[in-house]
Amino acid sequence: MIDAYSAGRVSGLAAGSARDLTACAAAHPTLFPANPFDATLFSAVSLANAFGSPDATVAGLRVANRLSLWIFAVDWLIDHRAEKLSEIDAIVDECLDGTAMSPLTAFLCEIRDEVADTSGLFENELTRMLHAMRLEFVWKTGDELPTFDAYLDNAANFGSTFVNVAHWIRNGVTGVPDLLPASDEVQKVLRLLNDLATHHRDVSWGDLNALMLGPTPDEVRAHIEVLVGNAKKLNGPQRDYLARQIGYSSGFYGVADYWGSR
């Protein structure tokens, strides 16, 4: 059980971070309309990152929080606003081009500038996430659904590894490439935890979900246990950070969701 002081510190980090995200949304109003980007979403994102890095500062969490919020925005545009693959391709192209200015790319450029990555990892993960989002749109609008394994292999569309990479680079963590296998295993866990919690919403919103591909909820939970075991075998300096992501998401998705009403 977390002690009262630690809980208070994490809550304080989250409060400061939520204020920053509220200001970001106000600065980019067309990107973050009040519905569905409400105050609860800002608080939930901020709490997740604060629990992941309880010893951080609000400034140290800024990239993780802002990039998480940006991912919600691009996910909203691709999953719920775009109707044709050509619209998805335009979104992917403008984000990867780095020069075209739109509300989406303007906020991304602010984040990219703060990360100040010289390794190429930020761009690699951005590309991987956007292409994974595009592939899911193809599956969702096509004639044939993917297998469960193919769906899970496309978990980069969830974006948590992208956030981890940006957060680690921004905060001077060394050996980030070596951390990617463990982060990707955890990303798959988070993808499935989300799917278990949001199946009914995904059905009503027309989203893709692991439970639409054959496995029962119990089979998905069993697969999560296997993935968690794989992640635990991958030792490294960020193991506790990744373990906290699993623990937090396991508890959070048991009672809530990030999105509110559509």
- Encoded amino acid at 155, one letter: A
**Which domain range does residue 60 map to?**
4-252
CATH, residue 121? 1.10.600.10
d(CA 77, CA 74): 5
Domain assignment of residue 262, yes or no = no
Domain assignment of residue 92, yes or no = yes
Domain assignment of residue 46, yes or no = yes
Domain assignment of residue 240, yes or no = yes
Number of Cβ within 10 Å of residue 14's Cβ equals 23
CA nearest to 136, candidates 85, 73, 187: 85
The model's pLDDT over 79-120, given as tens digits with 9 standing for 90+, comes to 889 999 999 999 999 999 877 689 999 999 999 999 999 999
Domain assignment of residue 190, yes or no = yes
d(CA 192, CA 49): 19
Q: How far, CA to CA in Å, does 242 sit from each of 13, 38, 116, 206, 216?
A: 18, 27, 23, 30, 26
The separation between CA 193 and the C-alpha centre of its own chain, rounded to angstroms, equals: 13
d(CA 53, CA 173): 13
Domain assignment of residue 202, yes or no = yes
The model's pLDDT over 35-89, given as tens digits with 9 standing for 90+, comes to 899 999 999 999 999 999 999 999 999 999 999 999 999 999 998 899 999 999 9
Domain assignment of residue 257, yes or no = no
Domain count, the chain: 1
Domain assignment of residue 120, yes or no = yes
